[in-house]
Amino acid sequence: MGESAARSVDERWKGLRNALSGQFCASLGSLDEQRTTSPELTFRPEGSLPQWGTTHQLRHGTLPSEHVCTENLTPFLKLLPCKSLTGIASLLNPHRLFDADWHGLGVHVRYLENEGIEVRLSFQSVFDPVRYSNGRRDWSLRSVFDRVIDRSCPIAHSSEIRVAIPKEETAVAITPDSYTTHAGFVYFNVSNASKPLDISMSWPDEQKFEYATVSSAVPLTHVSVRRTLKGSSQSRGRLSVSITNHMPITIQTSYLESMPWLLQFYLHSLQIYSNGVSRDDLISIVSYIPSVPHVRPTLFQAILTLPPKSTLHLSMDVIKPFLRYTEHPPDAQRGWDLPPAVLVPLLHSNSSTLDPGLSNPPSGFEQLRLPRRMYTPVLLVDLATPDFSMPYNVIIMSCTLIALIFGMVFNLLTRKFTLIRVSPEPK
């Protein structure tokens, strides 16, 4: 019964990723068993699980080398009610979106009991207005997106743009003035705009803007993480993770490593340090599933306790296996992309700073209000690569020798030799 249920879930997972791959023109179909895990400690269901008489299991997969591009944005826009013709979606200019410093695309689907299925589409971008304003940080919708909002989407329930007010004493001019202010933000109602909307923000008294140097002593988030892969050898290395708690309270966080079998962990070498002191008591509920080459990836989950105002260092030895020469990508010398680690900050259930909107929390823990989930940057691992030029050299040398030998033998077999007597020249 268990095997048949798991087989049914795997078949549905395969159908889902193939459907999403065709829908968004992405390579999600390659999320096979070698890239799929079930991290139930880190990823909890959101919403309600439908009671359809089928088994529900968690599946999680990552493609760190897959990037969002124009071919993914085009089918994404077709899912919107007004496409990219009207409304806020008309600002989605691919030439500007993919020229940003960072961009991302998200599709979130969840089932809500008595309400149905909710689909939330999102596109995130981080722009640098200084690049478009000749050293000034003035910006507008036209300067950032090269477009304005001509009219709102007629079937949209609401259409609103929120702009954060800078927390500084410098005078800031925001146009147009048809907005409302609340809690440090200004709100523009696109539906009430009588003419094309081009929101702009400028600093009239500022001649040139320069970004301030952010000190490492100033925390930008409650919890920060840094993950590196050390070692110059192509057969061994050491994975190092540094997690800093900037808050004056103790935080517990769920830590997830979903690593392909290209990098195998030595769990017995796991070490935990806090401010330079060995602290094995700061890790608990360790769940580890080792990888099987060409079959499944490594799954490592644990609950980490972060003391207040301290840094936790986690490290373990890793081994880099040898691959068949047919398993290397075309750019094998570049290396392999490794998926990011995932952290979910947790607190005890008796804390007063819990997010009541979450459902099905882990036993004994609740998720913080911010951040709900943190991802580390993607790592690049250098595996042992063969000399791919040698097969071509062998082929060329073999073909040359065969051509020479064949030519000589062919001449000896097909040519007719005739003896010609030459009379001696007179003296």
Q: Tell which residue, 92, 73, 74, has the closest CA to residue 153.
A: 92
pLDDT score of 165 more than 60: yes
d(CA 31, CA 265): 21
pLDDT tens-digit series, residues 109-119: 888 888 888 89
Q: Tell which residue, 262, 272, 264, 268, has the closest CA to residue 240.
A: 272
d(CA 63, CA 91): 28
Query: Which pLDDT score, from 0 to 100, does residue 361 have?
Result: 44
**Both structure tokens of 392:** 């071509």
pLDDT tens-digit series, residues 371-394: 578 899 999 988 888 887 777 888
Residues written for the chain? 427
Mean pLDDT of 275-285: 89
Q: Give the percent of the chain with pLDDT over 70.
A: 89
pTM of the predicted protein model: 0.77
d(CA 157, CA 117): 17
